[in-house]
């Protein structure tokens, strides 16, 4: 199958999952995860109507972005080291993986140098697995409060990666947990903080994530095929 055909299938599944959950399909945005894929795959997907692309590695994104002339929107979704933030300042429109204050401070500083503002999501390790990045659910509210005081970034919501399960339904409690946490944080009315975005769900479980309120699904393999 071509990238265009796979994209069409994923879009259809997103639509079906949203409708099944009584949600407006327009409220779910697809982030095509293009890590390890060549620029030509990004261009193919763009020609098939895909606009947002998610990348995990600073070096790779820096190399790929100039090869894509099309007006795509890059999101950074991977673990981010503070000393690399400068290299993606102004290049990405959203960072899904802000999980500590020191990183947020550097994002604020680097976007500030460009007189720009970056949309960020706070990554939460909702399962508490030690191998996963993200702040804990217990610390998330305080982290949001601290980040909210910084200029040049806006908190738009939360992101999570649940543990891997063969059965996508097994991820559901973690997706629901992220939604509940966003509702709790949203109820505090912290100035400058929006809890509108929930970035959750990947190739294997995006339908379940949409059922639990995902507004951004990050899908790689189902669009581009297995990574080598
Ligand atoms: C690689 C990756 C994805 C996409 O995973 P697939 O299973 O290929 O859809 C989503 N989110 C993050 C953070 C990733 O690193």
For 9-22, the pLDDT digits (tens) are 999 999 999 999 99
Q: Per DSSP, what are the bridge partners of residue 32? A: 53, 219
Tokens of 203: 């190739």
> Beta strand pairing status for 118-123 and 92-98?
parallel
Q: What is the value of pTM for the model shown? A: 0.97
- Ligand 1 geometric centre to CA of 55 (Å): 9
pLDDT in tens, 95-146: 999 999 999 999 999 999 999 999 999 999 998 887 778 999 999 999 999 9
Q: Are 124 and 142 in contact (CB under 8 A)?
A: no
Tell whether ligand 1 has an atom less than 6 A from the beta carbon of residue 134: no
The half-sphere exposure of 92 on its side-chain side, counting CA atoms within 13 A, is 32
Q: Whose CA is nearest to atom 15 of ligand 1?
A: 78
């Amino acid at each position: 199958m071509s990238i265009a055909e796979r994209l069409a299938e994923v879009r259809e599944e997103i639509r079906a999952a949203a409708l099944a959950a009584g949600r407006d399909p327009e409220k779910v945005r697809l982030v095509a995860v293009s890590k390890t894929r060549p620029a030509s795959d990004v261009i193919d997907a763009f020609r098939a109507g895909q606009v947002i692309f998610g990348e995990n590695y600073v070096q790779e994104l820096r190399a790929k972005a100039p090869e894509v002339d099309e007006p795509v929107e890059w999101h950074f979704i991977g673990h981010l080291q503070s000393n690399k933030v400068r290299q993606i300042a102004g290049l990405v429109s959203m960072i899904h993986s802000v999980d500590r204050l020191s990183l947020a401070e550097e994002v604020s500083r680097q976007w500030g140098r460009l007189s720009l503002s970056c949309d960020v999501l706070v990554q939460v390790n909702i399962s508490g697995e030690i191998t996963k990045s993200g702040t804990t659910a217990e610390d998330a509210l305080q982290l949001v409060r601290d980040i909210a005081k910084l200029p040049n970034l806006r908190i738009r919501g939360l992101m999570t990666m649940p543990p891997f399960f063969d059965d996508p339904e097994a991820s559901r409690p973690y997706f629901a947990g992220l939604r509940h946490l966003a509702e709790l944080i949203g109820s505090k009315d912290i100035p400058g903080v929006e809890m509108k975005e929930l970035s959750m769900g990947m190739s294997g479980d995006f339908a379940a994530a949409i059922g639990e309120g995902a507004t951004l699904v990050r899908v790689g393999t189902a669009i581009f095929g297995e990574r080598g």
